[in-house]
């Protein structure tokens, strides 16, 4: 039997700090794309590179927490949400190592924001307070709520096509200034960054929405995880 590419997926944690957690849609999307999900907890940062050694690709998942503003040189304001310092520390190291090694990397929602901050970029701490914009849709959060305008001739365009892509929206922070080497490849009509990528990497893509959940309403989103798994397969070869 041909070995499936192993795709690491970072885990969240409940508010009590007692249970790791992950929405099933992440693992289902990796499986449907031909990969094998490998769940990556963040309890011990010293073993982060050991997880990467067992994986062919990596998904930085999202969650209900914010990246500490101090990480991008700002003072925390009241509108900034709760943070998870241990998770951010762990995923920061994972992200740096994955980028350095050329490992196929997909950042989803907060994972995209982390990619940008690791590369020296900044975030809007709160879109409603900072820009008067609201990108946190009510339930059900898997329904498309706005189109993403895709920049032609980018990795994202090659994956899903250049036509506007209906996407879901569940975030109150967003990329403000892009980091080093970051190409913005998707925005909403109000100018909010919805996708970024690293053109010099084999596969490094960040997306602000959740393709693994909205795919049931718009099949084009499946190409994102298919692209990740195919890049992981190529890297293993």
| 140 preceded by a cis bond (ω within 30 of 0) | yes
CB 59, CB 10: distance < 8 Å: yes
Beta bridge partners of 56: none
Asked if 146 is an active-site residue, the reply is no
Find where tokens 């980028």 sit. 99
Of the residues 91, 194, 197, 212, only one is catalytic, namely 212
Catalytic, out of 109, 135, 171, 221: 109
Q: Decide: 76 and 57 in contact? Cβ < 8 Å.
A: no
The CA distance from 6 to 56, in Å, is: 5
Of the candidates 42, 210, 221, 230, the residue annotated as catalytic is 210
Dihedral sign for Cα atoms in the order 210, 212, 213, 215: positive
Tens-binned pLDDT, residue by residue, of the chain (237 aa)? 689 999 999 999 988 888 999 999 999 999 999 999 999 999 888 888 899 999 999 999 999 899 999 999 999 999 999 999 999 999 999 999 999 999 999 999 999 999 999 999 999 999 999 999 999 999 999 999 999 999 999 999 999 999 999 999 999 999 999 999 999 999 999 999 999 999 999 999 999 999 999 999 999 999 999 999 999 999 988
Distance CA 15, CA 34 (A): 32
This prediction's pTM = 0.97
What domains can you pick out in the chain, each with its CATH number? 6-236 (3.40.50.880)
The answer to whether residue 136 is catalytic is no
Active site residue 134: no
């Amino acid at each position: 039997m041909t070995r499936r590419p192993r795709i690491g997926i970072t885990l969240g944690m409940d508010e009590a700090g007692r249970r790791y957690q992950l929405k099933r849609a992440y693992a289902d999307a990796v499986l449907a794309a031909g990969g094998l999900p490998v769940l990556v907890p963040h309890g011990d940062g010293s073993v982060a590179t050991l997880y990467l050694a067992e994986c062919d690709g990596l998904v930085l998942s999202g969650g209900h927490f914010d990246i500490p503003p101090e990480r991008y040189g700002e003072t925390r304001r009241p509108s900034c949400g709760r943070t998870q310092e241990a998770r951010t520390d762990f995923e920061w190291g994972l992200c740096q190592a994955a980028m350095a090694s050329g490992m196929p990397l997909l950042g989803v929602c907060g994972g995209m924001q982390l990619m940008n901050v690791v590369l020296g970029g900044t975030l809007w701490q709160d879109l409603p307070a900072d820009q008067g914009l609201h990108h946190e849709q009510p339930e059900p959060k898997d329904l498309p709520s706005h189109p993403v305008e895709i920049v032609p001739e980018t990795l994202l365009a090659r994956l899903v096509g250049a036509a506007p892509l209906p996407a879901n929206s569940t975030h109150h922070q967003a990329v403000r200034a892009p980091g080093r080497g970051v190409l913005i490849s998707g925005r909403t009509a109000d100018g909010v960054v919805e996708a970024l990528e690293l053109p010099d990497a084999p596969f490094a893509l960040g997306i602000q929405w959740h393709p693994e959940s909205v795919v049931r309403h718009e099949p084009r989103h499946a190409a994102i995880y298919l692209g990740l798994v195919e890049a992981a397969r190529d890297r293993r070869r």
